[in-house]
Amino acid sequence: MTGNLLRRPARETPQSSGPPQSSGPPQSSGPTRSPGPTQSPGPAQSPGPARAPEPAQSRRAAAAIVGALSAAGTRLVFGLPGGGPNLDVVGAAADAGLRFVLAHGETAAAIMAATCADLTGSPGAVVVTRGPGLASAVNGIAHAALDRLPLVVIADTVPAADRDRISHQRLDQNALGRAVAKAVVTVGGEEPERAADLAVRLALASPAGPVVVNVDPGAQAPGDGERGTGAVVGSGTVGAGPAARTGRPGTGAGVVTGANAEASADASPHDDLAPLASALRAAARPVVLLGLGALGHAGAVRAALAGRGIPALHTYRARGILPDSGAEAAGLFTGGTIESPLLAAADLIIGLGVDPVELIPAAWAYPARTLLVTEYPAGSAGYFTGGTELVASLPAALEVLAAHAGGPGWPASAGRIAKQDATARLRRAAVPGPGSLTPQDVVTTARAQAPPEVIVTVDSGAHMLAVMPLWPADEPRRLLISSGLATMGFAVPAAIAAALCAPGVPVIAFAGDGGLGMTLMEVETAVRHRLRVAVVVFNDAALSLIKIKQSATGQGGAEAVGYTRTSFATAATAMGAAAACAASPRELAAALAAALAREGPTLIDTRVDPAGYPALLDLTRGDGGRRGPEWDAAIRYGSGN
């Protein structure tokens, strides 16, 4: 069966979660204070402290949120709760059969929840406390925003009734949420079920993304025209993403009502694909670019492209849509230069579901006509200079492609030739040092030990330049990375989420020493839940990718990018995990074989020589990637020159 087996069947965006079991009608905030006996005039009396919402109100708001999430298929909730409504949400989750997973950091918890959303198709859920909890989660929320993943962030908040009096831990959580989320919704008041349902619908609406829910059980309805919908503050995703450009929820244009949100969610792409059909008829060497928007159509992509002879490049998020073992899979598309030989030889470039957020900042100077088909306005023409964006149904575009005879100007298996040439050059760039592994050694050794169904998570850093092109993927969502935000500290939390979402499936996390330092305590989370996760650390005691970019003068010295050598294996053992060190392919192979057979997590501390990283960067993003002798010969043969 094509596609990741973890994802549930596609479902309609929930219309309503239905009213949860409540403890009765909403309670008032307390009886009106009696004026008492008449007294002589005196100094004005200041109002007393506002009374806390009744427990029934808090429990009803919590049940509403959990009910909406459960109706949408959510089964796991992550987080670090504070007191009050936070704990009511955790309790409501338990009552509804949703499992709560306690993490060590809010950003890690948000990444776990976003990864579950990626693997299952249901909204991720994370619980954080007000003030510092929400602030600490921002990086994880931003990751979900830029990778277009539905995430519901449930935060306690200083009640509106107390905001003039209480400043402790009080932040403007609406403003904070607007910086990184599609919308901010307050759940509480008389009909919290409608507000909770709206939050989930907004998170799932295309393009998917995070919604911050401020839980204020005693909140008043925002007005007669919006009674019970919750206050929904419009915002844009980071970098003025598609939501901001299209006027969907997330425009920063004030309050969005439930009706506005439903209109946004129901908006459908038009299907004017005549330019695509015309361009295909005139093309001899078309190339397809597959992006994150094509993930939901993997079966249709395979049916349309298999055996057609049209090479297809994949963004990081799209890896595995076409199996790497197939003839059409041509390798990576990142906006760098590893894909340059193929794109420079093409006479038509077709993007399917490519979102510019996936691509590194680089010039687009290929001469071929470029058409980008996307199901929501993605602003593609702003990145692909001279390109044309077609907002249309991807299945309809795939029907047009399927009707095309193929690429008669390409040599047989052109995609495979391009990919093999690129990966061969990356392997040749390995620089082995005494008593250490090359990054390429780590990847190829791990791949030889891992079963086909393994899920791999990858941190940002120099090591990803070896992992992403050299690790084959034959199914989507088996090779995961933070693409749009490209944040460090992703691999370990994502691996924990993958192991929880797919019990019994082995998981490998590839992390640099910098990224692991940000999330090291989450190894204890994997220990507590007895998760079969192998954390492989590329340990070179440096921020190696930044070190390559560092100028010889004027940008600090070694102290700006270097760490003291750390034994991560010792730290992991102290948390109850198994651990090993590896400085050769044989040691790494033995450690991985043991890790993949063991219940519970293992950390493998590999001593990596960073000397080969500059060559990897040049081959993937520099001049070294632009052309290779094997591909030159193939192009000359295929084009008849």
Torsion of CA 540, 542, 546, 547, to 10 degrees: -90
Of 61-70, 231-240, 294-303, 481-490, the least confident: 231-240
> How do residues 2-37 score in pLDDT, each as one tens digit?
444 456 544 444 443 333 333 333 333 333 333 333
Residue 122 CB neighbour total at 10 angstroms: 23
pLDDT at 2: 45
Class of domain 55-266: alpha beta
pLDDT at 636: 42
| Residue boundaries of the structural domains of the chain | 55-266, 274-421, 432-608
Segments in 295-430 forming alpha helices (H): 298-305, 340-345, 380-383, 394-402, 414-428
Stretch 43-48: mean pLDDT: 42
**C-alpha 393: how far from chain center:** 23
Tokens 């933070």 belong to 482
DSSP secondary structure, 45-88, as one string: PPPPPPPPPPHHHHHHHHHHHHHHHHHTT--EEEEE--STHHHH
Instruction: Tell me if 274-421 shares its fold with 432-608.
Output: yes
Q: Is the pLDDT of residue 126 over 90?
A: yes
> How do residues 374-425 score in pLDDT, each as one tens digit?
999 999 888 998 899 999 999 999 999 998 876 678 998 999 999 999 999 9
Torsion of CA 540, 543, 549, 554, to 10 degrees: -110
| Model pTM score | 0.85
Q: Topology of domain 432-608, per CATH?
A: Rossmann fold (3.40.50)
Of 194-198, 423-427, 474-478, 579-583, the least confident: 423-427
The dotted CATH code for 274-421 is 3.40.50.1220
- 236 contact partners, CB below 8 Å, separation of at least 6: 178, 243, 244, 250, 251, 252
CA dist list (Å): 573 to 39, 136, 577, 580, 581? 71, 27, 5, 9, 12
pLDDT at 287: 96
Answer yes or no: are the C-beta atoms of 437 and 510 closer than 8 Å: no
> How do residues 613-629 score in pLDDT, each as one tens digit?
888 878 777 766 665 55
pLDDT at 282: 93
Q: pLDDT band at residue 47, thresholds of 50, 70 and 90?
A: very low
User: What percent of the chain is helix, strand and coil (3-state, nearest 5)?
Assistant: 40, 15, 45
